[in-house]
Amino acid sequence: MEMNKEQLMQVMPHRDPMLLVDHSMRTEQGVESEYTVPDDPYYTRGHFPGNPIVPGVILCEIMAQGSVLLFEEKLKEKLALYAGMDKVRFKKSVRPGDKVVVRSTMGRCRGMFLQVDATAYVDNEVCASGQLSFMLVDKQ
């Protein structure tokens, strides 16, 4: 089942300008999500003038948000917060107008701690990858 932005907002707390997923769907391997970087996003205006590049931390956030459907059921009662990032690598610059495809799979789960393996692609080339860890906390 594919979810659009409006449906994703029922699962995750993010809103514009920090909602960084256009649509997402479950696959046999895990979850695949897409986000098209706007032509002039706020996060590239100073990074770098005349040569806009999506910051690595934003790529990590795109991967994290693109992985949410892996643990959608747990988010009915909880909020997922970053607990860590491991083995994060950046291979290719992402620029305004690029369509970022995130493929993610569930890693280890221990109680309220979850680990996701995520890879972001532009034009079928890896631009970023890493293991993202989340801690589930009460929404309040």
The reported pLDDT for the residue numbered 20 is: 98
Q: Is the pLDDT of residue 84 over 90?
A: yes
Can you give the pLDDT at residue 1? 79
Domain with 16 in it: what CATH number?
Answer: 3.10.129.10
In which domain, by residue range, is 57 found?
A: 2-138
Of residues 136 and 140, more confidently modeled: 136
| Cα–Cα distance measured from residue 119 to residue 52, given in angstroms and rounded to the nearest whole number | 22
Q: Of 50, 49, 41, which is closest to residue 20 (Cα–Cα)? A: 41
Split into its structural domains, the chain has a count of 1
Q: What is the mean pLDDT of residues 82-100?
A: 97
6-31 mean pLDDT: 95
Mean pLDDT of 5-20: 94
Mean pLDDT, rounded, for 88-98: 98
Distances (CA, A) of 21 to 50, 80, 108: 26, 16, 24
Q: pLDDT tens digit string along 23-73?
A: 999 999 999 999 999 999 999 999 998 999 999 999 999 999 999 999 999
From 5, 14, 26, 47, active-site residue: 47
Taking residue 136's Cβ as centre, other Cβ atoms within 10 Å add up to: 19
The pTM is what?
A: 0.95
- For the question of residue 47 being annotated catalytic, the response is yes
- pLDDT for the residue 140: 76
